[in-house]
Structure 1
Amino acid sequence: MRTPTLQYLYLQKPVTMVIVICIISVLPWIGLGDFSTKGEPREAAVAVSMLETGNWVLPQVYANEFAYKPPLAHWLMAAASLPQGYVSEFTSRLPSALAFIILIGFTLVFFGKRLRFQQAFIATLLLITCIEIHRAAMTTRVDMLLTTFIVIGLFQLYRWEDKLELKGVPVAIPALLGCAVLTKGPVGIILPLFVFGVYLLMLRKYSYLVIFKALLYAGISSLFLPLLWYVAAWKQGGDAFLNVVLAENFGRFFHLSTPEIHYNLGHENGVWYNFMTLAAGFIPWTIFFFFSLFGLKLHKPEKPVKEMLADIWNNIRSMEKEKLFSLVALVCIIFFYSIPSSKRSVYLMPAYPFIAIFLAQYTLYITEYRTKVTRVF
């Protein structure tokens, strides 16, 4: 493709160009390989059970053990498999691939309208090509779908404050957060509202009562859709279903013992695990980041540490709203997933679009002012 054509697409049809790149990078390949981890067939088995038994509320898998996770991802897998009558690698991975494409498109549109467009465009390219996001887009898991609902839900929460000043609750917010809960449980509401609450506090624009009411209204309205499924599943699974749901969603988070639950909650790691997985998940761009540090000129600080920290805090408080929101989201997501003992790299994926925004800004700085380092890399 000639350079003028690429320039035209970038200048005139940037969203279309990015979506086409996303489609080319995932859709042709998701059906070529067999299931590669134990998690992929485990998730696909739920969709298989739905098609075979007709039970789309609480299907049984693993020798009559019920699927305790919310079923939205499995509904989509089963729906994609209906035309051919069976679940394949392609149809089971299709929801993750489509969620990836939607996430990238919304990220470009959201940040492209509010920040330097070149920065937003580079950020989406970093997301498309980093290992963690691309891998999640091509696997039969619920994490890519959850990330898409949470991130777009955060975008809508930001717009609610920015455009409406917390008046009313736009229907998109309960729809997105409700779907996030139907994908993987209460974290789909708790995490976005935690981020949004901290952001509102940092704005210093609203009283505590107004913030509390906004979070309360958004939270309650977002419970309607998931409660329909939880009540229906409880009628089928009874107390055994409730015990497993409590252990899965709250037991591991608050380090509670669950003697009646006979399975390993697993994935226990320390706090530093989150930072290591973020660095690994953003490869190859973390390599560029650490390589570029050798081209920076370091100066001995002239101020005491306390004054430096105060300056940093003041700079954060005076940030543009979009960057403040991104920073708050990034810090809150990492902090949130540092609390439970159970940690996995995919839990941190909602932080990736916000990391990409700052990494894109740093990339532009390196390109403009440290050209030798960029050329060598």
Structure 2
Amino acid sequence: MGTAHVFWGTVSPYALPAEAASQTLAALIAAQFTGFLLGVLSAPRLSTKIGVGRHITIALALFAIALSAPLWVLSPPILLGASVILGAAAGSLETQIGALALDPARGPRALTVLEACFGLAALLFPVLVFVLSPVISWRAPVALAATAMAILCVVWTRTHRASLSPRTQVDTAGASAAPRPAVRRIPTTAACLLLVFAVVYAGFETNFANFLPRIVDSHGEATTSVLAVSGFWFGITAGRLFAVSVVHTIVGRKALAVLAIGLTTALLGLARFSDELATALPWVIAAGLLAAAMFPVALTLATRIGGIPIPIMTSYFVASASLGGAAMALPVGTTLDAFGPRGVPLLFAGAAALLVILIVAPRNSHSTA
């Protein structure tokens, strides 16, 4: 999942023509998170219809195929199709894994640990691309990622062979056909505001990471600037590992507001010092540290105050996040072309300020600060 979220931003400085890179990258990210939204929305129904085992197998296989697309062709229409497939596969997998991690028996730390592992892949993939590209080719780490997903698909299929058998699937379908009591599907007003929070936050996180090589473009050396992506995810991963020990104390609106204010400040600092990688990197890492706990804390808070079952609330939250990733891509690309690298951090700072407003606005009985 971590590799998918930084894939196009990391590969684009090497694979895309510089003159059209911003708009092409924006289109790829928008396509990926449109696919992600489709994957999130279709995951519950597909799992019920064909079984969880088969669904995960198909998603893993599509994931591997989509990652391998840039190895064969760099035609924009083909890459857009691969981006949609990549997003759909990632959305399907993340929805199911997120619902498992949010089981009340596991507590809020489970999601934070999962997000830390997510961040580890997002941190390492840009480093791998930066190290291997001059020695071999940028295609080498892409091939490694696609091969790893293909191997994971095979291993999953072999270890879950019983759950993939027709009999098991029929039994599962029969069980799912049993009548179930009606459940509430409309979240509370406070939880709906957190869904808007998810749209804005994910629009920031996904696009900030993918556009960082363009923002911190030191004298046109975008290939060196991919290390900024690793810096951002280093901050997020370190922050989430720390949050594992304190997440039970920071699930509240006050903590989210403090983090959002700090994030706004860090992004304003980046707008001032984005000319060189060395001066920009501390601000990038600070942004990652401050953003680290925001998504898991907001999601955990939403499941507590949502008033609906956890799997449904999780699906809504992840769907809102994927919508944000898709919706913000084109405005970011346009801002980059119109105002240059310094304009984009200011746009993101505005988004972070909006997060503060969304957090402090509700003053009702559902507030858990």
TM-score range, shorter chain: under 0.3
TM-score calculated relative to the size of structure 1:
0.23
Larger Rg: 1
TM-score calculated relative to the size of structure 2:
0.23
Structure with more contact order per residue of length (Cα contacts < 8 Å, sep ≥ 6): 2
